[in-house]
Structure 1
């Protein structure tokens, strides 16, 4: 079952969308979005809280708390129901298209009666939007690209959501009769840390498969049993996600784990090596082709060693040269979450964060970091209402907190907005007093390729900008990346000593793995940041690290694995010229 927190998060986000569609107060809509994030990430099951407890959640005031209480009590939120009734369902469907906002969706309905995605695509193909203000050819092309993104995503879910349900399932199964808790894991694309996941593969080693299968189908999130057998059972959860459980003989565990982790292309490479050695590789083991005698099966390490390979980390198993690198003894020593010494892009409730400065610093200290940067938004992101006075007061507060956290070096930074011409919010003399600056694109996503490339390169050349935040601006399944010559941007970052961010937020994972591989070729360095807007978001770095591993990064490639002395030298080098 979905946690009440997630149900209420979805409802509050929907209400914010409904407000936007009907032309409601933009700040009110923003408040509901902020409350939704806070509820979704809250550490306690909100169904156990009373009104006072709900109001202790950051961003949840009395009005929102009352609505949440109403939903928890009745299963409905009257204000949402009323707004839904006033807006055709098709219009709500339209705003799920990346690049199409609520105002444009309502205009399409009012002017042309378009109330479905299929109807919109048909109208574009028939050129019915040509006389509609704000729907020029570029906008129509962007809409079609947004629809394509949705279709590509299909029923796939974000890495973080898949991880949550997989870990919940594995934890429950480890208590089941007949399950070896040391050999109960998730595999497939989730183990390889793909950014979106289709089905989740769970593997268990057991001599009692029937007992494990029965425990699996009895889990609370099961809505439908698709197939139930001795070797494989498949269920569909209440959210429509398919989970496949495979029970392996204990003596085949390593072979099965290697096989079901994939990818298919990687497995083809390993089977080719096996064939050349007169062997046969399957989920049950590595066998001599002629005699059928088993050569290896118990662990993945045994399987790879018998093929003349070192163990290959799952995040590399995409047939991108990892097998050849293994044969040459040239696999990278991949960066891990334990290597991170700090986080260089985070927010507080001074702008759009949910947690106070003191709470964010305490949470960073609790993670054992050596250094930690607070980088709230700059003034040109107008909704955040930042001023010079506010940011300077925060700096003083941070300096005071430093006296209480002597083991944690606190850095005062900011996330700047990159204008269409590459300029940023504050002049150089003001930026000089920040410890570091992240610069990101937050607007004008549809500029042409030349303009987007130029603005990013100009930002790289700014001596006060240390990191380019979420460089392509994409949001998975929601917003496509900007059109820019990324190779030129990567070269500029390497030339100017500007790090590229791997934004760990599960909706972003930006840069993605393929971009990381390309950027590394130019000699660029990277920062794996959480972009945390609450204390719970600091843990998102696990997804950024997984993405970095898929991009073959080592600790030396990532600036926030470096010692403070080395990082400090990097941050100051640009300013010295």
Structure 2
């Protein structure tokens, strides 16, 4: 069963938004935001904790702990229901737009009686927003872009949410008697950043036991359609899951077919036709006789078409078939290639766990090195000081002496200001092993200004990695508008790596930009951006995104030996320039 932490986190985050919408105490809203994040990242299932146990979670005081306990006991929190009743449903619909904050949503409702996304679009087209204070032409452009993002996302869920659900279902069905094989397919297997419906496959002689077990699983809200070969359900979270049961001898063909993508499969079917064959979910058949040629494994299907097995993360019809025919498919980076994490946080800034806990969790993952990179002072909410970060450095050095099998690096995540400057002067930055520089503010600058600030950050000899380079939050905030090719050229010229931030709501750089950056000769760092020990495994999603960008381990600096990594971090080329 899934932990209850995620739903509690979502509820408290919603309440924080409701407080802001109604003009409530900003400190109260911030307290609930922090508590929500802390609960989401806590290692234990909150359903197993009483009030005293809940109070052990960072940023969860008695009042919030009692309300969480109330929710776990009754399924509701009176205070949240009361706040929901005060906020019109239309305003809450508007706040789903990534570029529209809660206060402006309330202004639109109060002053223009806008209570739906369609009404907002009509009002923008009619120019009605321009008379409102704080709403100009640029605001209208951002809102329309936000609406477009919202409509594109639809009912899609984050990669991590889809993975957790799919792995839970596969685990349950694998235990049903008669299961030969079980796994998930579709866009999830291709590691797309968001997923619509889930596709689960079972290889078995009889389908009935699996269909019955599937429809009776906890979390199934309704059965959409049932049949001998396919059953579709909707979960309590609103996710549609399709289960297909295949004959064991058709497993490979079915897995290939239902993994997709559609465009990739069209390419394979075209190749099959040229070989006088026919490809379907049941196998590769002789077009004239109808006899099955191969079907049991994906490798056999690809080989019969004259191709090597193509990793699912490449199956997007972006040149993978042609590369396979030429024998030029890359040997993709794997999670097991990662030797260390170069972007993580502790409770010294906005993390949820102390330094010692994060280091111990990293050591358990078998890393050769591990970097702590808490926020620098210009991110106002962190209240970082020189004294705090230097004291942490001493603790890192002490722990480093204890962890003989894992070297510790002391770093920081700097804030790139509007002009491309960073928090501390060069002489202070000299003391860090690693500096990640990220955009945390000024998201609305024009294209030229955004490009200039990123290029200048790359040119800083003390900046080693540009963190989450576009600044996007999937489904919540679009990436900044910058000339990324100019940024990629600057990274390649100065020896500055670009981060592939593995946090599921970032996955930044996106895969298509990774492919472009690689052509410029850029190197990358795949990092978890962990704010709790529970976040360290997010790295798998970053590696999946790196694979979708065709990266090998030579492209990723944290697959390198510590000696080679330290050479890269010296940025000799940048200093010489």
Please report the TM-score for the alignment, with normalisation by the length of structure 2.
0.97
1:11 Cα deviation after fit: 1.1
CA distance in 2, matches of 1:292, 1:107: 65
Q: Which residue of 2 aligns with 1:152?
A: 152
Are 1:62 and 2:62 matched, yes or no? yes
Q: Structure 1 residue runs of 4+, over 6 Å off? A: none
Determine the C-alpha separation between the residues in 2 that align with 1:293 and 1:90: 58
Partner of 1:287: helix, strand, or coil? Answer: strand
The 5 A counterparts of 1:106-125 are 106-125=106-125
Residue 398 of structure 1 corresponds to which residue in structure 2? Answer: 396
Match of 1:441 in 2: 439
Q: Distance in 1 between matches of 2:137 and 2:265?
A: 44
2: CA distance between counterparts of 1:298 and 1:24?
Answer: 61
Task: Give the match for residue 98 of structure 2.
Answer: 98
* Contact 2:185–2:258, Cα closer than 8 Å, also in 1: yes
Asked whether 1:142 is paired with 2:142, we answer: yes
Equivalent in the alignment of 1:179: 179
Whole-Å separation in 2 of the counterparts to 1:473 and 1:12: 24
What SS does the corresponding residue of 1:374 show, helix, strand or coil? strand
CA distance in 2 between partners of 1:434 and 1:23 (Å): 42
5 Å-filtered alignment, 1:128-527, equals: 128-180=128-180, 183-527=181-525
Contact kept? 1:178, 1:209, Cα under 8 Å: no
Aligned-residue offset at 1:403: 2.3
Aligned counterparts, 1:551-570, within 5 A? 551-570=549-568
**Cα distance in 1, alignment partners of residues 567 and 174 from structure 2:** 47
- Worse overlay, 481-490 or 65-74: 65-74
- CA distance in 1 between partners of 2:175 and 2:348 (Å): 44
Secondary structure of residue in 2 paired with 1:403: helix
State the match for 2:76 in structure 1.
76
The offset of 1:490, in angstroms, is: 0.5
Greater mean deviation of Cα atoms: 119-128 or 510-519: 119-128
Q: CA deviation at 1:576?
A: 4.3
Partner Cα separation in structure 2 for residue 20 and residue 72 of structure 1: 25
Q: CA deviation at 1:106?
A: 2.2
Task: Measure, in 1, the Cα distance between the counterparts of 2:309 and 2:274.
Answer: 19
Pairwise CA distance, 1:74: 2.7
Distance across 2 between alignment mates of 1:189 and 1:309: 21
2:130 is paired with a residue of what secondary structure?
Answer: coil
SS at match of 1:532: coil
Deviation at 1:337, TM superposition (A): 0.4
Is 2:42–2:532's contact at 8 Å kept on the other side of the alignment?
no
- 1:5 maps to what in 2? 5
Task: Report how far residue 42 of structure 1 moved.
Answer: 2.8
SS of equivalent residue, structure 1 residue 419: coil
- In 1, distance between residues paired with 2:497 and 2:188? 28
Alpha-carbon separation, structure 1, partners of 2:483 and 2:131: 32
**Offset of residue 19 of structure 1:** 2.2
8 Å Cα contact 2:41-2:352 kept in structure 1: no
1-side partners of 2:86 and 2:233: how far apart?
Answer: 37
Deviation string 1:535-563 (CA, Å, 9 cap, x unpaired) is: 00000010000000000000000000000
Counterparts of 1:72 and 1:109, CA distance in 2: 33
Structure 2 Cα separation of the partners of residues 215 and 84 of structure 1 = 37
Does the Cα contact within 8 Å between 1:252 and 1:297 map onto a contact in 2?
yes
- TM-aligned CA deviation for residue 2 of structure 1: 6.7
- Comparing 475-484 and 113-122, the one that deviates more: 113-122
Q: Name the counterpart of 1:21.
A: 21
Structure 2: how far apart are the matches of 1:500 and 1:253?
Answer: 39
For structure 2, the residue ranges without an aligned partner over 5 or more in a row are none
Query: Which TM-score applies when normalising by structure 1?
Result: 0.97
Contact 2:464–2:571 (CA under 8 A) maintained in structure 1 = no
Alignment partners' CA distance in 1, 2:112 and 2:304: 65
Is this contact kept in 2: 1:500–1:526, CA < 8 A? Answer: yes
The count of aligned residue pairs is 575
- d(CA) in 1 for partners of 2:229 and 2:248? 13
